[in-house]
Amino acid sequence: MTDETITAHLVDGRVISVPLAWSWRLSDATRAQRANYQLIGDGLGVHWPDIDEDLSVEGMLHGIPAHRPRPGPVRKKEPSTKLALKIAGTNLGDAELADLLGRRLIETFRDSRVYHLEPREGIRVKAAIDWIILSRVADVAGIASLLWLLFEKVIRPRKTMENQMGLLVAIDQERGLQWLLGQDLSEREAFISDFVSKVSEFQCTERAQVVFRETTADLETSDIWISKAAHGGEKRTAPANNRLHPTAARRRTRPRVSKKR
């Protein structure tokens, strides 16, 4: 074997030669790797264990190059630019405080769609729950900073050891992608660092698109979610039975509720 050709001497006296370029693995290999070969199949082929390459005598006779193509460059999956954030004020104990949280949420995420939970009559919910729909996320750290600012302005000044108020931020609760500010996390830098790390990784998965698609479908087809606008307007979404959507039956965004006794 030379840097240009592979030559084989057969038992019947024939000598065959093929270009080394037939095999990109051999072309890229070192001389030591090329020199380490083994005859396989009773001499019907050659195997190079260092580079996991095989050439058959039959292939060389008929002019058939090594069939395995050179792998192309690894293409990094583009991260999802969409994100649905569930925001819940926990243990608020005050309807006015819940309204304040909703208003501050809209003001903070002015360019986003915000859905506010308004349960049906006779149903009691133990937390103020909203969804933020971000159609384009360019700065995950910036989103984390805004969420912490919301916690600092609304929850922290009113939080005591007795009431245990908190701000729940969730993206995929089924997989544990959630944070409880004020209880599990009480330091800004710790939250931002953890949020950026986990959300950036999540956005590069196929599940990120599935979760966003199913969440928005549920919000748009349920009559308990009100679309809020920064200017104070609101729009109640159409009842689910007036729309068709393949994922509408899966109520991923419904909160846990209990009937008022």
Query: Which residues, given as ranges, of the chain have pLDDT below 50?
Result: 67, 74, 230-232, 237-261
Residue pLDDT, tens place only, 187-243: 888 999 999 999 999 999 989 999 999 999 998 888 888 887 544 455 554 444 433
Task: Record the tokens describing residue 248, joined without a space.
Answer: 């509408």
Residue 181 near residue 169, CB atoms below 8 Å: yes
Domains belonging to the chain, first-starting first, are 5-61 (3.30.2020.40), 83-259 (no CATH)
Cα distances from 144 to residues 88, 166, 197, 253, 255, in angstroms, run 15, 16, 11, 21, 23
Distance CA 135, CA 253 (A): 18
Question: Tell me, what's the pLDDT at 180?
Answer: 92
Distance CA 203, CA 199 (A): 6
**Range 22-43 burial, b when 16+ CB lie within 10 A, else e:** bbbbbeebeeebbeebeeeeee
Task: Record the tokens describing residue 54, joined without a space.
Answer: 């095989």
Rounded to the nearest 10°, the torsion over CA 249, 228, 236, 172 is 10
Question: Tell me, what's the pLDDT at 128?
Answer: 73
Distance CA 198, CA 178 (A): 10
Question: Tell me, what's the pLDDT at 246?
Answer: 38
Nearest to 8 by CA among 62, 56, 68: 56
Centre a 10 Å sphere on the Cβ of residue 143 and count the other Cβ atoms it contains: 22
